[in-house]
Structure 1
Amino acid sequence: MLTGVCRAPVSPRNIKLIQYIVSYRVQSRLQRRSTHCHCRRTAFEIDGELPEKLTRCTCSFCSKRGHLYAYFTPDQLTVTQADSDAVYRWNSKKVANHFCSACGCDLYADTPAFETDGSWDGKTRRIAANARLFDDFEAADWPVTVIDGKNLW
C-alpha cells in the first residue's frame, strides 16, 4: 500500500485521482495560454510555462487595477486580435499598459525587465500578462509575490 506525505495510507482507488491531479497541475503549467478581454475584441496567447508565483505590484496604477501578473519574454506573446487594443503610459513612459478600449479590461504590459530593487539594464523587456484573464485558470489560487512598486518607482 502506498503512503502519502503525512504517512497516512493511500488507497489504490485514490492513486488514480492523485496521479490525475499531479498530471493536471503539470499540464496546466505547460500549455499555451489563450486569453481575451470581456468583450472579446482583444485577445492574445502566451506560449510557455506559468511562473512558480504570480506578482502583485503596489504601485499606484497596479494597486488600483488589481493585477496579478505572470511574467514572460516578449517572444512568448502572440496578439491574436487587436480590434480595441489601447495603450496607456505614464510617468517615465517606459511601460506600455495594453487594455481594451471597449470594455476596459487590462490585458498585459510591455515593460522593462526591472529587478526587485527597481534597477534595469536599459534594454531587456518582458511581458507582464494579467493572469486573471487566462482561460481555465484561477489566478487567486496561485502563490503570489508582492513587489513594493509604491516605493520603487
Structure 2
Amino acid sequence: MLIQGSCHCENIAFELDWPGEGASVPARACTCSFCVKHGGVWTAHSDARLRIRIADADRTSSYAFGTGTAAFHVCTRCGAVPVATSDIDGARYAVVNVNTFDDFERSRLTTETVSFDGEGEADRLTRRAARWIGHVEIDYQDAAFVA
C-alpha cells in the first residue's frame, strides 16, 4: 500500500510503501515533550520503504534532543515535522508522522500511547534498528544542500 504525506506546504514530502494491504496502520503517540508539542504520532514497519523528497533544503531544519540519536526533520516554512531519522551503524532508519499523511482514511490508524523514558541509548538504537523503516532514501531537490 502506498501512503503519501507531507508537511503543510509540501516542502518535505514522502512516499511510504507499506507492506501488504492491511486494514490498519499502527501508530505510537510518544509522550516526550517534543512529540506532544508538535503532534508527533509515529508509525514504522521494518519491511516498509520510504522515499523522502525535500524541495528546498534551506527551508528545513534538523532537531535532535535527549540522546541526540534521532533527527526530527522540521519544515521552517510551515513548522510541521513529517519524519524523523536515525543513523545506526551506517544505515538510516526512519519513522513518519501519521498526522502528515495525505488522503488517508484516519479510521485505519490504531493508536497507542508510548513512553520511552528510562530507555538507555543502546536499547533505543537496538529498538529502532529492529522496528523503524529500514529502507530510507532522501532526495534533495536543492543540490546545494549537503546531508
TM bucket (normalised to shorter chain) is 0.5 to 0.7
Task: Return the alpha-carbon distance in structure 1 between the equivalents of residues 107 and 79 of structure 2.
Answer: 20
Q: Which residue does the alignment assign to 1:44?
A: 14
Q: CA deviation at 1:40?
A: 1.8
Task: Return the alpha-carbon distance in structure 2 between the equivalents of residues 57 and 63 of structure 1.
Answer: 7
Secondary structure, counterpart of 1:44 in structure 2: strand
> Which of 83, 108, 111 in structure 2 is aligned with 1:108?
83
Task: Return the alpha-carbon distance in structure 2 between the equivalents of residues 81 and 131 of structure 1.
Answer: 18
Secondary structure, counterpart of 2:82 in structure 1: strand
Q: In 2 relative to 1, CA 141–130 (structure 1 residues): closer, same or farther, beyond 3 Å? A: same
Task: Return the alpha-carbon distance in structure 1 between the equivalents of residues 47 and 64 of structure 2.
Answer: 18
Task: Return the alpha-carbon distance in structure 2 between the equivalents of residues 40 and 65 of structure 1.
Answer: 17
Task: Return the alpha-carbon distance in structure 2 between the equivalents of residues 132 and 67 of structure 1.
Answer: 7
Q: Deviations over 1:92-131 (max 9, x none)?
A: 210010110111001111137xxxxxxxxx6475311011
The count of residues paired between Structure 1 and Structure 2 equals: 114
Structure 2 gap segments, 5+ residues each: 121-147
1:110–1:127 Cα contact (<8 Å) kept: yes
- Higher mean Cα deviation, 131-140 or 69-78? 69-78
Q: Deviations over 1:130-149 (max 9, x none)?
A: 11111112447621122112
Structure 1 gap segments, 5+ residues each: 1-29, 113-121
Structure with max Cα Rg = 1
TM-align CA RMSD:
2.7
Identity of aligned residues (%): 28
**TM-score normalised by length of structure 2:** 0.64
Whichever structure has more strand as a proportion of its residues is 2
Higher RCO, 1 vs 2 (CA within 8 Å, ≥6 residues apart):
2
